[in-house]
Structures are given as C-alpha cells and as structure tokens.
Amino acid sequence: MATTNDLILYRYSPENMPQEILRKLFVGREKLLKSMVKEIENAARKKTPRFLLIVGPRGIGKSHFLVLLFHEINNRFGSFLIPIKLREEEYSVYRASDLFLRILEEKKENTKEILSLANEDEILHAAIEKLKLISKRDGKRYIIFIENLHELFKQLDTHELQKLRAIFQKNDFFSVVASAPMIFPGISEHDEPFYNFFQIQFLSEFSLEEIKNLIQKIAEAENNKKFLDDFKKYEPKIHGMSHLTGGSPRLVILFYEMITRGELENIENAFFKIIDEHTPYYQEIFQLLTGQRRKIFDAVISSEAPITPKQLSEVARLDLPTVTTQLRRLEQDGYVISRPMGRSTKYEVRERLFRLWREMRQPLGRKRVSILLEFLQYWYTSEERKELFRTKFEMLEAGEKNALKDLCYITETLPMESKIEARLKLTPKLIELGEREEAAYEIQSLKETAAQFGNKDLEGKIPLHEGNLHISEKRYEKAIDAYKNAVENFPKDEDFIESTIEICFNFALDELTTGNRGNSTKFMKVVHEISKELKEDKVAMLTINFLKNAADSGDIQVVKVALDEIIKLYGNKYEERIKFIIKALEIVETRDIQKYYNLQIEEREIVGDIVKRITKSDELLPEEIRRKESRLTDYIDAE
C-alpha cells in the first residue's frame, strides 16, 4: 500500500518510488511506453543507436515516464543492454569526459587510473575506451537516461558539445533517452552541434478521463476507501480542475492530497502558488524565442480562443506569410498545436497552464482571467460562491485589500441577480480604494446587463455610481450631470434622493476644505435643485448636518463659506435653525465669551458645542459649561 510519503515522492521524485507503485499510477501513456520499448529493443537487436528526447512542460509526467521506461529496459533487456540512469540534476558535468566518467561511476567501475592522467583529451579517450571494452566484453550496448537535457547542455560549451556529438556518431554502442520541458536552441538551431540529432516525442496533457483514472488509482494505492466512496461528489470539482490545468499530473496529486487532508478551501492559494513557481520557466521560454516568433507566440497565448493565422497577422501586425512560417516553426518545436476547424486551421498554446500564467499577469482592471472564472464556476456551487463573496467582502471592509481581486473574479461567476447585487455593492468600494479602472469595468457591466434585460430599476441606479466615479477623477461637470440624472430616474424615492443629497454635501465639503469654492458651490446647487423632491424638515436636517460637519473641520473659513452658500441658496428659510451657528462664529471670531450671556441657558450649551467643534478646545466656553463638562468627565472616570 502506498503512503503519503510515497505520493510526495511521486509528485517530485518518482525515481525514488517502488516500481510497483510507479506502474500502478501509470495512466494514459501505456501505448507510447510500449512503442518506445519496442523501438529501443529493435534498434538494440540490430545494433543501431537511438537518440530520443521526451518533451513536455513541468509536472506533465516526464520523470515518471522516463523512470518507468528505464525499469522496463532494465528488467526485460538486461542480456543485451546496459541501462544507465543519471541523476535528475547533474551539476558536475561540464565536459564530455565528465559525462562518461559519471557513466562509469554508475557502473561502479574504478576510475582512479583514468583520473590520474594529466591531459583532458587523454581522460576522455580512456573513459570511452573503458566503456567500449566493457560493452565488447559483456556483449551489451549502453542506453543512457538523462533528465533535463537542456540544463546539461547549458553546462557544456560548444566545443564540448561538438566532442560529445562526434563520440556518439563514432561509437554506435551508445543510445540516449533524454527529457526536457521545451525545445531549446541546443537542439533546434541550425548552427548547434546537436541540431536535428534527437527524435522528439511530445507528452500530451491528460484527458479528463485519464485524470479521474489517476486519482482513483492513487486512492486505491493508499487504500483510501472514504475518498473512493465519495468520488462522485468530487467529480464536478475534478472537471473544473481539469479544465483549468489542462491535465497536469503534478496538480492532480496536489488536488488529491488537499481533498484527503480536508483543505479544499485552500486550493486556490495552492494553485496560484504553483503558477507563480512556474514564472522562471515560462520567462525562460519567452527568452528563447526570437523577436517575431515571440510576438506571435504571445498573441496565441493571449487569445481567449484558438486563433487563425489571418487573425494573428492582424493582432501582431505582421504579414501573413511571416506569421504562417513562424507558426509552423512554433508547432514543430512544440509550443503551439494546430486544430482544423471547418475550412480554416486555428492555433492554440500546447500547455494550458502557460496561457493561464500569461492571463494571471494582467493587472487588475484588464480583461478577466476567463479560464479562472470557469474554474470557479466548476469548483464552487452558486451558494458557495455567494457565501465566498460575502466573506471576502467582509475581509475587504476590515482592511484586507488583498481580497479585492478575488471579489472581482467571484462577482463574475455569480448568478445574474446576485451578480447585479454584488456589483452595486462592490463598485463604491472600488472607487473608495482608487481602483477607478476596475470600477469603470463594473459600471459598464451593469449598463450592459440593464440594456440586455431591460432592467429600468438597475438603469436608474447606475448614474449615482457614475457620479461618484467622475468625482474621484475630478470630472465635476460630468458628476453633477450624473447626480441629476440619478434623481430624475427616481423622483419619488425619498431614500435614494436623501442619499444623493448626502453624497453631494460630502463632496461640497471636501471641495471647500481644499479651497475649491467654485466646485463646492456647484454641488450645493445640485442639492438645492433635487431637494425640492423632499419634505422640508428632511432637507433642513440634511442641511444642518452639513453645517455640523463643516464645523467639525475645525476651519472657521470653511464654516463661514458653507454658511454663506446655504444662505445664498435658501435665503432666510432656515434662519431659526442656523442662528446658533451664526452666534458660534461671532464668538470664535471675536473671542468674546460675554456673547453667551445674550442667550438663554439651554441655547448657550448648543452654541458652546458648535464653538468647541470649530476650535477643538474648551477655551471659548463659559465657565459654567466647562465645570459641567468637568463633572461629567469625573463621573465617567469614577464609573
């Protein structure tokens, strides 16, 4: 029975796993393995070498395939082949001689006499001769298994690579089976020693059925009866993961581990971490491509759907013959695949994770990551997505801005009614946090939804958010038009009108405190215009609250201007209500406490409160009010 440690080894180091487990967990590539074993056997029996290269992205199962192939050759053809499996990373191979000395080391042969030679060419010749002698003595031929051939070739300079190729061509008792995550210049460029040397075999991604098969085999190997019993429950989520990852075995194992440990809620974080870990690898691929090829590949990878050469020509702004030529090379090197669709051929990136990585590196506010959105829809039920939005929004309100990006994606996946509600809730927060481009996206989406479904109620709510966005962009004229439009849409909705007035008063005050009286006046005029739809006492309350907030600014000039604008707009309508503010301003400007004593006792306290709001101290309060506040403070402290 497999253990958790076995699975960790399988995910990262299959060569250290027992053969029976490797065979048990081998799915989807049985035919390929069988055909390669047969080809190696036929070639060996005919005494002809083979140089095979298995290519596939990280996590696709190259190591598993190579190790299992090694075991097959070792178990079945030991009478005429000598399989040598080198380490996954051979950091000490910098010369052709180093490679052959490593082969002798794996054969447990003594190399002291060879290493005692002074000349490098003599060492290389002696190592080859010793290997030849063993081959002739035993009547066997070498087959060398090398992982990460691209890294090994980086360590060898051109002269050493030339020597290596010459040795392989001269000595037909060596065969090589290697792996690499990509087609790299060392084998694809015309002027490289190993150009056109290897027979290339691409490993394709797992299908959905193969993924399900692998997960079930893992569960069986671990004797995980509970998982197998609940398998149907997990199938929709497996489908979502397959759609997202494109069938990466390494991610399949990760997925299984998280289910069995009860960590499904962390799957997104784990997935994004893996994507991030791929960054150096994907960046290296881009660096390997030439200018035009890189541009065309980026256009393919950035396309939301398979794309034709003609469409690519338009996107990349390159002529069609150039695009067609470069696409053939990209397909030949395994970066893209072509699919006949009707009368045309369309191209897409071979590795789906690569496309996701490219999309994930778009800044917030650009196009949504379409694959991720589909994954979220598969991964969570609609009720789970609603709850996820609620939880993430609470996190955002608590100050965790990292939740914002998640909220934008989750919103896209909600059922229509919930999506509208979420967008109306999220948009003001986006504006508040300065995410204007993202807020504009949400507003535009709301407009499209309103138009599509003829939703007049939603259409009427949008201008208020547009006005707020315009304010954040300092486009005041557009904001004022939007607010007027908002109220026109809901002339009888007192709550809506009241909230719009509060917004306008707030912006008026903001403009006053920054010295923009002209802009402030514009907002106050909007208030005056739309307040006609409200009852008199409600307008009065909102106006007094505005003046209180002005007093709280602590700037006497702001209070004076605010009061002056209100009087200009409403005349003496609120004379009785604002007289206390006028009296407080007199006291602050003259610093004459005696003016309190022209008021009734209860009026003194009201005026004193306004004075304290403006001055932020009790210096200009009458003695009796200060004593009263002091006694109240002492009482609270005693309690």
Judged against a pLDDT cut of 90, whether residue 541 lies above it is answered with no
Residues 247 and 311 in one domain: no
Residue 211 lies in a domain: yes
pLDDT value, residue 31: 93
The answer to whether residue 114 is domain-embedded is yes
**Chosen domain end from 431, 459, 489:** 489
What percentage of the chain reaches a pLDDT higher than 90? Answer: 26
pLDDT of 632 over the 50 cut? no
Do 415 and 463 share a structural domain?
yes
SS3 478: helix
534 and 567 both lie in a single domain: yes
144-148, 162-166, 356-360, 450-454: least confidently modelled range: 356-360
| Residue 287: burial class (beta carbons within 10 Å; 0-12, 13-18, 19+) | exposed
Task: Among 296, 328, 360, give the residue marking a domain's end.
Answer: 360
Same domain, 177 and 212: no
Using DSSP's 3-state secondary structure scheme, residue 86 falls into coil
Task: Give the Cα separation of 78 and 299 in Å (integer).
Answer: 49
3-state secondary structure 182-239: CCCHHHHCCCCCCCCCCEEEECCCCCHHHHHHHHHHHHHHCCCHHHHHCHHHHHHHHH
Residues 434, 531 within the same domain: no
In a domain, 367, yes or no: no
pLDDT digits (tens, 9 = 90+) for 236-280: 778 777 776 677 777 777 777 777 776 555 666 666 677 777 777
CATH number at residue 409: 1.25.40
Are both 395 and 322 inside the same structural domain?
Answer: no
In a domain, 517, yes or no: yes
In whole angstroms, what is the distance from residue 90 CA to residue 155 CA? 9
Asked, for residue 374, whether it belongs to a domain, the answer is no
Tokens of 408: 């934008």
Boundaries of domain holding 602: 579-639
Give the pLDDT confidence of 21-64 residue by residue, as tens digits. 888 888 889 999 999 999 999 999 999 999 999 998 887 888 89
Domain count, the chain: 6
Last residue of a domain, one of 154, 182, 202: 202
Q: What is the pLDDT of residue 630?
A: 56
Is 375 a domain residue?
A: no
| pLDDT of res. 304 | 74
Contacts of residue 217, defined as CB under 8 A and 6 or more positions apart, other chains included, come to 24, 25, 27
Query: What pLDDT, on the 0 to 100 scale, is given for residue 53?
Result: 95
308-336 pLDDT per residue, tens = 989 989 888 889 999 898 888 888 887 88
Beta pairing partners, 339: 346
CB neighbourhood size of 235 (10 A)? 13
Question: Distance of CA 251 to CAs 2, 15, 241, Å?
Answer: 18, 18, 9
DSSP letter assigned to residue 363 = P
Residues 44 and 181 in one domain: yes
Does 365 map to a domain? no
pLDDT, tens digit (0-9, with 9 covering 90-100), for 139-172: 999 999 999 999 999 999 999 999 999 999 999 9
Q: Are residues 18 and 42 in the same domain?
A: no
Structure tokens at 622: 């009458």
Question: Which residue blocks in 80-119 are alpha helix, DSSP H?
Answer: 96-106, 112-115
Q: Which two tokens stand for residue 50?
A: 């083979």
Task: Give domain status of residue 14, yes or no.
Answer: yes
Residues 636 and 554 in one domain: no
Residues 384, 532 within the same domain: no
Q: Give me the chain's average pLDDT, please.
A: 84
Does residue 255 share a domain with residue 387?
no
pLDDT at 398 over 60: yes
- Residue 467 CB-density burial (10 A; 0-12 exposed, 13-18 middle, 19+ buried): buried
Which candidate, 371, 378, 376, 374, places its Cα nearest to that of 392?
376
33 and 21 share one domain: no
